[in-house]
Amino acid sequence: MTRLAAPLIVIGGPTAVGKTQLSIDLAKRFGGEIINGDRLQFYRGLDIGTGKVTLEEMQGVPHHALDFLDVDQDYDASQFQALAQNLIRDCHARGVLPILVGGSGLYLEGLLYDLEFGGKASHDPLIRQALEQRLETEGAQVLYAELLAQDPLAASKIPIQNHRRLLRALEVMQVTGQKFSDQSQHETAQARYETCILALDRPRDQLYERINARVQAMVAQGLEAEVRHLYQVAQGQLLPSVQGIGYKEWWPYLAGDMTDREAVIAAIQQNSRRYAKRQLTWFRNRIQGTHWLDASDYETALAQATSLVQDLLDKQAEKGGTL
């Protein structure tokens, strides 16, 4: 694969760490536009629970890949890869610096390393429909056992409760004849873009305090009402779009299977803290060449980020490259 000369800025890190503010500040400083990489923020109506950036918070900076899916639409990493590549290409054509914010696991890997895990060649509606029918009649345990037997590495990374990823892995293997895990390896892959990867972190106790406070703020902003509306739209079905943290915890409560509202909120906080820990571990283990910044001292972090981005742009200029 040929590395593309045009630059890409990536801002990662755990939930509630402060990625939005950094992305806005860098976009204003360098004339950039922001591409959302958080899968749940693709969906219309998933606003409060995903921490989706508001118009006021955008401060006039253009944002892309937000609110373009209905809650009953499926979406996978190969589709995001194609979308993001087009958005980045468009930014470069207009002389604009693309800034990718967030990035759900394989979605980010697929874009940065151009993984060949998806595309039309790995989709087959008939196979997918058959797998969905088997999931309904035979259950996830049977399908997961098949994945475990055929591709133990993929099975170790896909929770049995994540039906969307379980079905996708089995679909890809049936269509391509290859292990799903073989299609997501990038240890020897070259990054597709000239990339500056920035990741924010905070002391663990501070991060967890921010997560707990953020969940309480979401509840105060009307999270329960947002989820109730989605519950009605989905007719009680736990669609893939609402299986994210902040939404799925409400389902038993809304279905009448539990009555303790505070327990729902506590579960969201706990699951968010656990997710933040997994995000940090994943980023450190999977994304090469990351510059880690301490978000607890924001002004210093912003200065460091600004310097790193400027260094990348200066190197581009020395090579005769442009946006």
Distance CA 258, CA 53 (A): 31
Can you give the pTM of this predicted structure? Answer: 0.82
Of the candidates 4, 65, 3, the one whose C-alpha atom is nearest the C-alpha of residue 33 is 65
pLDDT at 30: 98
Q: Where are the domains of the chain?
A: 4-114+190-318, 116-185
Distance CA 20, CA 102 (A): 9
Distance CA 78, CA 76 (A): 6
The encoded tokens of residue 81 equal 């890869």
Q: What are phi and psi of 33, to 5 degrees?
A: -125, 150
Distance CA 2, CA 193 (A): 9
Side-chain-facing half-sphere of 100: CA atoms under 13 Å: 29
Neighbours of 13 (CB within 10 A): 25
Helices 298-318, 19-30: crossing angle, 10 deg rounding: 40
Q: What secondary structure letter does DSSP report for 174?
A: H
**Predicted confidence (pLDDT) at residue 187 exceeds the cutoff of 50:** no
**Predicted confidence (pLDDT) at residue 64 exceeds the cutoff of 70:** yes
Q: What are phi and psi of 70, to 5 degrees?
A: -85, 160
Distance CA 118, CA 115 (A): 8
Taking only the tens place, the pLDDT of each residue in 258-316 is 999 999 999 999 999 999 998 998 888 878 899 999 999 999 999 999 999 999 999 98
Distance CA 39, CA 244 (A): 10
Distance CA 226, CA 301 (A): 34
Nearest-Å Rg of the Cα atoms of the chain is: 20
pLDDT at 185: 55
Q: Which CATH architecture has domain 116-185?
A: Orthogonal Bundle (1.10)
Write the burial class of residue 129 (CB in 10 Å: 0-12 exposed, 13-18 middle, 19+ buried): exposed
Side-chain-facing half-sphere of 107: CA atoms under 13 Å: 22
Taking only the tens place, the pLDDT of each residue in 121-164 is 466 667 877 898 888 888 899 999 999 999 999 999 899 988 88
Q: Which CATH architecture has domain 4-114+190-318?
A: 3-Layer(aba) Sandwich (3.40)
The one-letter amino acid at 154: A
